[in-house]
Amino acid sequence: TDFDSKKKRKVAEIYQALNSDPIDVATLRRMAISEGGLLTDEIRCKVWPKLLSVNTDELPPLPAGKELREDNKDYQQVLLDVRRSLRRFPPGMPDDQREGLQEELIDIILHVLKRNPQLHYYQGYHDIVVTFLLVVGDRLATALVEKLSTHHLRDFMDPTMDNTKHILNYLMPIIDQVNPKVHDFMQSAEVGTIFALSWLITWFGHVLSDFRHVVRLYDFFLACHPLMPIYFAAVIVLYREQEVLECECDMASVHHLLSQIPQDLPYETLISRAGDLFVQFPPSELAREAAQQQAERTAASTFKDFELASVQQRPDTVLRQRFRERLRGEERTKSILTKPRTNRFVKLAVMGLTVALGAAALAVVKSALEWAPKFELQIFP
């Protein structure tokens, strides 16, 4: 069939890129992003290390679990999370095999944390690690996860959640650029962005039940800029426009709707759509709006708020009230202040085109490559 021959061509192209000297990482990134991703776990074992520039020739041996577990401050929490992670293992896997993998999972996590004391464990981290363990095995998973934790996941592993919240603040500006109606509805419902927290910090591993979809997304995210998961989150919300707008406009209803992620999403379409949005509205362009979101939501922006709050009101009620007053004030000044959305429709018209040409994939690859060497914390302009 046509699909099979396409697949064969893709496999050949991936191996050609792997065997060229030097390795053709740009092609590997393009393959990971384009339809179907990297196709098989066998290929992922070879390509994922290249996407993270991990040298597989000199993998350190894994330390014995016993010495890792003694006096480790995170051990108890990691143990609890891993014990609860039953559904992340393939259904029908024999218990003893699964238990063996869970032990490996604990060791990988503790090993990475021990070697990188600046990293802080968070709940959900194990959802990412288990994906790597199941695809590439424990030794390689340890090396890949360590690299990922000091780069893509770095912000989630800070002592506080400030940077994670900052990344979540990109969600509404992306939605606003594409669909102001959905954006304004969500603002009126005061739903915030916490519904997307577990999506972001587990790269959707925690919320998608089909492992194939999870690894397909990991192909995509590993090949892209570290903010791509937030674009993918925005694309899911935009895809559900109808449901969102038909929902009761209040925090509880909209939050409930959005946190239940549909399992039958058209992943390939959404992946190319997220790539497109990244190209059209790069993080640098959205940084101002994201910072504004932060300012508007910062707890108790003045002492007045605290005072008010202490008089039998919950602080978040005060904040919401302040936020509403500010919104009203902003409505009045909006015409003067805001950056016009003029180029949005032009940009959206280009959209269908970029997918057709695969230009989005190329641009995303380019931005990922430009970004790669600088790696540190340059996510935020």
Structure tokens at 85: 């992670």
Rg (CA), the chain: 22
DSSP state of 90: P
Q: Is the pLDDT confidence value at 299 over 50?
A: no
> For residue 285, which of 169, 381, 182 has the smallest C-alpha distance?
381
Within 8 A by CB and 6+ apart from 69, the residues are: 75, 106, 110
Residues 130 and 177: their CA atoms lie apart, in Å, by 35
List, for residues 305-361, the tens digit of each pLDDT value.
333 334 434 444 445 555 555 655 555 544 444 444 445 544 444 444 444 444 455
**Residue 369, CA distances (Å) to 15, 17, 150 in order:** 20, 16, 17
Rounded (5°) CA angle 169-343-276: 60
For position 94, what pLDDT does the model report?
93
pTM for the structure as a whole: 0.79
What is the per-residue pLDDT across 63-77, written as a single tens digit (0 to 9) for each? Answer: 666 778 887 889 999
The one-letter amino acid at 340 = P
Q: Which of 101-105, 183-187, 376-380 has the lowest mean pLDDT?
A: 376-380
Percent of the chain with pLDDT over 70: 76
Q: How many CB atoms lie within 10 A of CB 3?
A: 8
Q: Are 33 and 61 in contact (CB under 8 A)?
A: no
Could you tell me which residue, 310 or 23, shows the higher pLDDT?
A: 23
**68: amino acid identity, one letter:** L
pLDDT in tens, 32-57: 999 999 999 999 999 999 999 999 98
Token pair in block for residue 200: 């972001």
Model pLDDT, residue 59: 85
pLDDT at 166 > cutoff 80: yes
Which domains, from first to last, does the chain contain? 2-154 (1.10.8.1310), 161-311 (1.10.472.80)
pLDDT (tens digit per residue) in 272-289: 999 999 989 988 888 888
Between 63 and 194, the higher pLDDT residue: 194
